[in-house]
Structure 1
Amino acid sequence: MSPHSSSTRSTTRTSSSLPVRQAARYSTTRRYARRSSTPSTTTRSSRPPSPVRGKTQGSPIPNGFEGSEGQVLPSYDVDKAKSLLAEAGVPDGFTIASAYPKFSVYGVDFDVMMQSIQQDLVDVGITLELQPMEYTQWAELIAGEGTPITAVYFAPDHTDSSQYASYFGMMPSSPWSLSASVDGPVVNQAEVDSLAKALTESGADRTATYTELGKQMAGDLIILPIVNPQLVLAHASDITGVAYSPCCNLDLSTLGVK
């Protein structure tokens, strides 16, 4: 969510307030997350395509990385969401734009995902006006006036959780901190301190610090994780050394043949 987008600023501060972001969290995990956790039975000719098999996650640090264990998974509560909207002064809801790139990556079709989120939000009174666009057009929009709500994917380059804090956290000059408030960039000093601490630690201490960092990032309610696609590795029975890697990089040096 990007409260600093020109669309949000010109509409109302209410639509980007903390209670509204909390309401969005309580109402954006039902349809897509439920369908994503069920093996697809969709045929090739069926439309729309079924979401990828995946899991929900409790923070911007994805499942399988240090700090992902022990996070509170998002829950669906339409009554709580409506109560929060009333608290924010918009008991009847509101309409808000959402531009996003037309991606289909790691089995996740952004059109299907965003349509599912749109259906969830309308149940609590929030009407999402979807604006799918090509990546270059979307990138120009994000770099310029922005959009109140969007969707992205992040494929890690390595197995350290620090990259998620640097990209999704409220850190100085991190991409999403720049648009996290109608008043301008946001820095969560607790996250800055936690990341600095984690980078000096190892073992259980490092994991505990990343876990706390994940909770801090989840509490920002700027990044709302939707689905963590599950990697499926298919191989012949005589191939050895095949193992899951949370960063989706398969170390070829570990492979062998029986």
Structure 2
Amino acid sequence: MRTFLVAGAAILAALSVPWAATAKTPANTIVIAQPIDDIISLDPAEEFELSSEQENANTYDRLLSYDLQDVSKIRGLLAESWSVGADGKTYTFKLRQGLKFASGNPVTAADAAYSLQRVVILNKTPAFIITQLGFTADNVRDRIRATDASTLALETGEAYAPSFVYYLLTATVASVVDSKLAQEHEKDGDFGNGWLRLNSGGSGPYVLKSWKPRESLLLEANPNYWGEAPKTPRIFIRHVQEAATARLLLESGDVDYARSLGKDQVEALAKNPDIRIQTAPKGNLLYLGFNQAHPALKHPEVREALRWLIDYEGIRTALLGQGYTTHQTFLPNGFLGAVDDTPFHFDLDKAKDLLKQAGLPDGFSVTIDVPNVAPYPDIAQAIQASWAQAGIKLTLNQLDLKQIFTRYRAREQDIFLYFWGPDYQDPHTNAQAFAENPDNGPNTRTKTVAWRANWEIPELTARVEAAVRETDTAKRAALYQALQRDILHSSSYAFLYQTTEVVAHRAEVDGLVLGPSIDTDFWASIVKK
């Protein structure tokens, strides 16, 4: 088992021997074990991965947030008030007074404008969340601007459901960056991106002190935080790939929290009197993505056959446990317009008939990209065995998360197994991802999940755009319900499960806040008893 030492003189003094030798984490530090090899960047204008979004949620603030128990209730964070004009396109935000970034610089409307402008101009992976409102590099400085030190004006290209716009501003990419700090570190017009990839420039409860890829993240309390000070001064996240290793570290006291645990680890830890299990429903969906660049996967009959060749309940019971509920549509339960239709189950005869209709009665060969962390290899192996009964030869390509995302975003995968976490709490986030593909060309700006699956869907794309512009809530919900049901049998995906996050922690620590999305997990309330 590897042992790790934390970088930084202050914490090295507290940890003069390796973690495994201490058998107890420092009183002023919370240690979390989880895989963090997915991190590519920590700049909120660029990052788009699970671990980086969790880090960002604790180092940056946004204009708006929402009630974690009732996501329909928008609440202010840096903004104390917000409104939309009669034209349905002009939004005004008033910022709280007296706020500071971790650097000590004041938080102003100019910082909020700069942060959104740099997202649009840099045009990194998550920029579409903001640019879909009609902002471009040419117009964004006119359409997003500070009218005074505490007032931000934002003018969208068209009128949308106001809640949609507000939810976009709760997304990670809408985090407010310290513009003075970013400009001090700007190189060759990069808006400080090179520096912010490795450092934080926010106003959240913590400040990033170090990131060592595939090893660790270290955060320290922000001395200028405007809210309640974090209860524990330091958060140290250890990259732990294996769920079994995370369990052993937790039981030995070398870590305070363990995440990304498998069914066996959770069941064993639940019997340990020194451990507590914490759960929270999430909007994450575990799914298979079928790339229609593969000749067999072009056939809708094949894609439907693959759904009928999955033993959903058997996999959930044997491999996954309480963290997963069978869910087969693209909107998670809890979202406006979500439907919970689950027609698919293992049916070999039906699958074989569909393969015959597609002209592939003897099956075909295909490869699946699978993260090399639990529970994904086990799920893929179970699917491999059931698909083999219909003559489908499934080869597993097990990769680390960074490799997985690189191939996925380049459309190099045949089939992709992972989970999708909504980018914000409006139904358009998943409808756009899974049912919109305005341009299937290689250079499109909108590289949705449908684009990554090479699924050309102009009619569905138009319906998704109509739904996001519908201001009547009941009518809007009905549009999303129809979309889900209309593509249930023909889409380029097999949705498998909606997740409930399961986290194990030592009995002497408590206070981790687990929200409904991947970027609403907060560490500032964690305390050691």
TM-score when normalising by structure 1: 0.72
Give yes or no for the alignment of 1:21 onto 2:311: no
- Say if 2:329 and 2:339, in contact at 8 Å, map to a contact too: no
Q: Determine the C-alpha separation between the residues in 2 that align with 1:205 and 1:83.
A: 38
Q: 1:244 to 1:161 in 2, by over 3 A?
A: farther
Q: What SS class does the counterpart of residue 366 from structure 2 fall into?
A: strand
Of Structure 1 and Structure 2, which has the larger fraction of its residues in helix? 1
> 2:351 maps to what in 1?
81
Structure 1: state its 5+ residue gaps.
Answer: 41-49, 235-242, 253-258
Check conservation: 1:71, 1:214, Cα contact below 8 A: no
- Equivalent residue for 1:65? 335
Higher mean C-alpha displacement, 87-96 vs 139-148: 139-148
Cα deviation per residue 1:35-67 (whole Å; 9 max; x = unaligned)? 42x4x7xxxxxxxxx314221113111222222
The 2-side partners of 1:69 and 1:151 are apart by 22
Matched AA of 1:178: W
Query: Aligned-pair distance for 1:233?
Result: 8.9
The structure in which a higher percent of residues are strand is 2
Which amino acid counterpart does residue 79 of structure 1 have in structure 2? Answer: D
Instruction: Give the AA of the match of 1:112.
Output: D
Decide which of 104, 108, 125 is 2:391's aligned counterpart: 125
Does the 8 A contact of 1:169 with 1:177 survive in 2? yes
Q: 1:110 to 1:157 in 2, by over 3 A?
A: same
Find out whether 1:223 has 2:507 as its counterpart. Answer: no
Q: CA deviation at 1:97?
A: 1.2
SS of match in other structure, 2:416? coil
* Cα deviation, residue 223, structure 1: 1.6
CA contact (8 A) 1:57 1:73 kept: no
Give how far 1:175 is off.
2.7
CA RMSD of aligned residues (A): 3.0
Aligned-residue offset at 1:100:
2.4
* Percent identity over paired residues: 24
Q: Which residue type is aligned with residue 96 of structure 1?
A: V
Distance in 1 (alpha carbons) for counterparts of 2:485 and 2:373? 28
Matched residues, number = 219
Query: Partners of 1:16 and 1:193 in 2: how far apart?
Result: 22
Partner of 2:420: 154
* Pairing of 1:138-149 with structure 2 (within 5 A): 138-144=404-410, 146-149=412-415
CA distance in 2, matches of 1:3, 1:132: 21
Shift of 1:78: 0.9
Matched residue, 1:51: 320
CA displacement, residues 59-117 of structure 1 (integer Å, 9 cap, x when unaligned): 1112222222253432321101001111112211122111222244xxxx111111121
Deviations for 1:218-254, whole angstroms, at most 9, x for unmatched residues? 34420211111124699xxxxxxxx9964364799xx
Which of the residues 449, 456, 460 maps onto 1:176?
A: 449
Distance 1:179 1:244 in 2: 30
Identify the structure with bigger relative contact order (alpha carbons < 8 Å, sequence gap 6+).
1
Task: Assess if the C-alpha contact under 8 Å between 1:55 and 1:228 holds in 2.
Answer: yes
C-alpha separation in 2, matches of 1:86 and 1:97: 21
